[in-house]
Amino acid sequence: MYPLLFRVVLSRFDPEFAHHAAMAVIRVLGVPPFSWVTRAIAAPRPEQQVSALGLTFDSPFGVAAGFDKNAIGVRGLAALGFGHVEIGTITAIPQEGNPQPRLFRLVPDRAVINRMGFNNDGADAAAKRLRKLRMRRPKTVVGVNIGKSRVVDVADATADYVASASLLAPLADYLAVNVSSPNTPGLRGLQAVETLAPLLRAVKAAAGSTPLLVKIAPDLPDDEIEAIARLAVDEGLDGIIAHNTTISRDGLRTDAAVVEAAGAGGLSGAPLRERSMEVLRIVRASVPSEFCVISVGGVETADDVQARLDAGATLVQGYTAFLYRGPLWARQINRGLRPR
C-alpha cells in the first residue's frame, strides 16, 4: 500500500514539505490513545533488547539524527518501534539553515541529497522540550546530536560545542558530537586528529557522566578513520557513529542532469551501503569489543541491519529509507531481525 501511495502521491510533493507533513502525523501517533494502538502494532519484541552505553535499548535499530531536528516527534517515533531516537543536529545558536530548496529525492537510487545546514531552534529550545519529555518518561532512548553554529568561526568551535553540551547533556541519554556534516563550512576540518582531540576533551568535560560519541564522515581515508577511532578510545569516549552523509556521487542510477540540478549536499540512502559496511569494519577493528559502534548509512531491510550487527555494530540507525518504506519501516526491520 505505502509504495503505491509514495509513487502516486507523496513523490509529487516537495520533499521538505512532505517531511513536515509526515512529522505532524508522527507527533499525533505519540499521543494517547493513538500511541497505544501504534505501539501495539509496532513495538519491538522483548528479546530484541540491547544493552549499550549503560542503557537498555528496546531494539538495536533507531532513527538517525536529522529526522527529528527539534525533539518534537520522539514519542511518536518510539511508538513506531524505533529503539532509540537521536535528535538534532542541535546548535547552540538557533539557525534557519540553508536556502530552500535544500532536500532532493533520487528515487531510482532510493537516496536523498540534502544541504539543510543544521536548521534547528537552538539548544535552549531543545533543552526545554527535553525537560518536558523527561517528565513524561519516554519509552525510548534519546540521544542528542550537537554541531557547530554557522555564525561561529571554526577557531571558536570548541566553546560553541561546550555551550550546547552543558545545556543538553544532563537531559540526554547520550551525546553525539557531529564534526562530519558537509553542509556547514569548515566543519569537516574539525575531524583532523590534532583539532578533534582538544574539542572532544572539552565536550567530554562538559558532558560529565553522559555517554559521549563522535560522528564521522565516510569520505575520510581509511587510515584517518582508524586514527579517529583510536583517538576516541584514548580520550575516553563511549562510542563512534559511523557515519554521516557522503559528498560522493559515484555509481548513481539517477539521471546525471537530475543529480547535477540538485547540487551540493550530503548523499544518503542505498548507494552508501557498501562504503558504510567498509567503514564499520575499519572502526570495529580499531576499537575494543565493548566499545559502542553505531552503524549508519544505506540500511533499508532487516537483512541490511542484521548484516551490520553481524559485522560488529552495537546499534544501527536509519533515516532515508523511512521516506521510501513508510511508517511501518521500523516494525518491518524488527520483525526480520534474529533474536539477540
What residues are labeled active site?
181
- Contacts (Cβ under 8 Å, ≥6 apart) of 228: 191, 193, 196, 214, 216, 220, 240
Query: What is the dihedral angle through the alpha carbons of 34, 132, 96, 9, rounded to the nearest 10 degrees?
Result: 0
Q: Environment class of residue 3 by beta-carbon count within 10 Å: exposed (0-12), middle (13-18) or buried (19+)? A: exposed
Q: Which residue is associated with the grid cell 528496546? A: 58
Amino acid residing at 48: Q
The secondary structure of residue 173, as a DSSP letter, is: S
Handedness of CA 64, 65, 69, 72 (dihedral sign): positive
Cα separation of 243 and 266, whole Å?
Answer: 12
Q: How many angstroms separate the Cα of 187 from the Cα of each of 117, 158, 201, 220, 289? A: 11, 12, 17, 13, 29
